[in-house]
Amino acid sequence: MFANVATSTISAVSQPSAAGGTQRTTRPITTGTSVLGIKYKDGVMLAADTLCSYGSMAKYKDARRLVSVNPSTLIGGGGEFSDFQSITDTLRQNALEDRCTADSLYDEESAQASAKETWSYLRAIMYNRRNKMNPLWNDLVIAGFHESSGTKVPFLGMVDKIGTAFEDDMIATGFGSYLALPILREKWRADLEEGEARALLEDCLRVLFYRDCRALNRVQIAKATVDGVLVSEPYEIDSSWDSKSMVGAKGGLEGDGGW
């Protein structure tokens, strides 16, 4: 479905122009909006909708922006969708090469990159592309597990298009950093059960659907636990437009047309 979209930005990179110069992608075209992530009692959970907008048009409604790149790592991306496809393809190719070059084909766990290693790798990639004045137009959220002192610990980190990177217990990109992050900060606890974490993320996605014109109520949830990663199929969250301010007459329809 996205075969043509996937090449729209990448194909324009570093191609000689008619004037003999080099073309760069100066703005994203086919874009996804917010990605949310939180740590909870048993692991890490990500959430995003499935809409990709072509400019201001809600064009692609099954753009899945939460991806498993190996058995311990999830990645979610906002921004240019073709760049996100390129990044996930690279990560999956790296994961396959790691497995094929491992000392033992039966020791898959030691051959795969942890979530923190993937985050560090992407930080270098994004910063390198930024220094070439040819960034990948994405904000990426990386979730999963990594080993610390012999035990697996949850990891949640973010990398933006210029290589800025950080870790936190809760992360939101795009409009979510303005609209969803305050809700997460108010209601998040370290001992959230899986159901509570899912409900909290759905509440945030619902607010984004109401307030962000690039958002959709068709969403995905993904989780990473010590047992592995799981990405849900898309589903629709309930919404209500019955508030008084939304159902009342607007524009003075019975008057002179003024507000």
Helix (H, G, I), strand (E, B) or coil at 62: coil
Structure tokens at 225: 């636990």
Please, are residues 54 and 200 in contact by the beta-carbon 8 Å criterion?
no
Please give the torsion angle defined by the CA atoms of residues 250, 252, 258 and 259, in that order, rounded to the nearest 10 degrees. Answer: -40
Closest CA to 234 of 41, 60, 78: 60
Residue 33's SS3 state is coil
DSSP state of 189: -
Distance CA 188, CA 61 (A): 29
Number of H helices, E strands in the chain: 8, 14
What is the C-alpha separation between 137 and 195, in angstroms, rounded?
A: 33
Could you list the active site residues?
A: 25
Q: Phi/psi at 160 (nearest 5 deg)?
A: -105, -175
CA dihedral sign, ordered 79, 236, 178, 120: negative
Q: What are phi and psi of 245, to 5 degrees?
A: -70, -20
Token digits for 14? Answer: 């570093």
Q: Which amino acid belongs to residue 120?
A: S
